[in-house]
Amino acid sequence: MVSDKTETTEEADPPPALIRQATRRDLEAIVAMLADDPLGAQREDPRRPLPQAYVDAFAEIDGDAKQHLMVVAAGDNVLGVLQLTLIPYLTYRGRRRALVEGVRIAKVARGRGLGRRLMEWAIDAARREGCHLIQLTTDKRRPAALEFYRELGFVDSHEGMKLHFDG
């Protein structure tokens, strides 16, 4: 099981930031980050109080041992988020893989290395769990994100596809 231990990262400018498991108190900040870009603004609803669907989704994620919703926080300020999912597979001789989703760093905290540290946490956690790979998708309209993941060693090895359902 992935450790819920927090890890301290020290930045030159902001106070030390912790990578820790998200709590219900973090939910509004997380949804605000997910909505704070042109793509997220089209699909997220950060109004307060949050729509119940976010609260329900958080409870489901929080109650599943294979889901790890992690934040980078400095004090009470949530500066980044990602979700790591551990997936059992029959391929690769029944080995697990890890899936990273919903990676965001708050605009005020970008360029400080927090995204790299959060992703490095996810990569290390996947290794500790015996995963044979870690995978993610990123929108092709986010060229900076594509380059960021390439710098971390991710390779564009597959073409992803999605089928969205209305409602």
Tens of pLDDT, residues 16-51: 899 999 999 999 999 999 999 888 888 999 899 999
Q: Supply the pTM of this predicted model.
A: 0.87
Nearest-angstrom CA–CA distance, 25 and 129: 27
Could you list the residue range(s) of the whole structural domain that residue 142 is in? 7-151
> Computed from CA positions of residues 145, 146, 147, 153, in that sequence, does the dihedral angle turn out positive or negative?
positive
CATH of the domain at 101: 3.40.630.30
Say if 42 falls within a structural domain: yes
Query: Minimal CA–CA distance to 72: which of 20, 29, 112?
Result: 20
Say if 158 falls within a structural domain: no
Q: Provide the phi-psi class of 3: left if phi over 0, else alpha when psi is between -120 and 50, else beta.
A: beta
Say if 167 falls within a structural domain: no
Say if 162 falls within a structural domain: no
Say if 159 falls within a structural domain: no
Packing angle, helices 27-35 and 52-62, rounded to 10: 110
Cα angle 51-62-28, degrees, rounded to a multiple of 5: 35
Say if 35 falls within a structural domain: yes
* pLDDT above 50: residue 11: no
Dihedrals phi, psi of 54, to nearest 5 degrees: -65, -40
Say if 163 falls within a structural domain: no
**What is residue 14's DSSP assignment?**
S
Say if 104 falls within a structural domain: yes
- At 65, list the tokens: 């041992």
Which residue is associated with the tokens 């301290």? 8
Confidence at 8, pLDDT banded by 50, 70, 90: low
- Looking at every residue in the chain, the average pLDDT score rounds to 91
Query: Minimal CA–CA distance to 67: which of 52, 51, 81?
Result: 81
Q: What is the pLDDT of residues 148-167, one digit of tens each?
A: 999 999 999 998 888 989 76
Nearest-angstrom CA–CA distance, 62 and 73: 18
- Number of structural domains (the chain) is 1
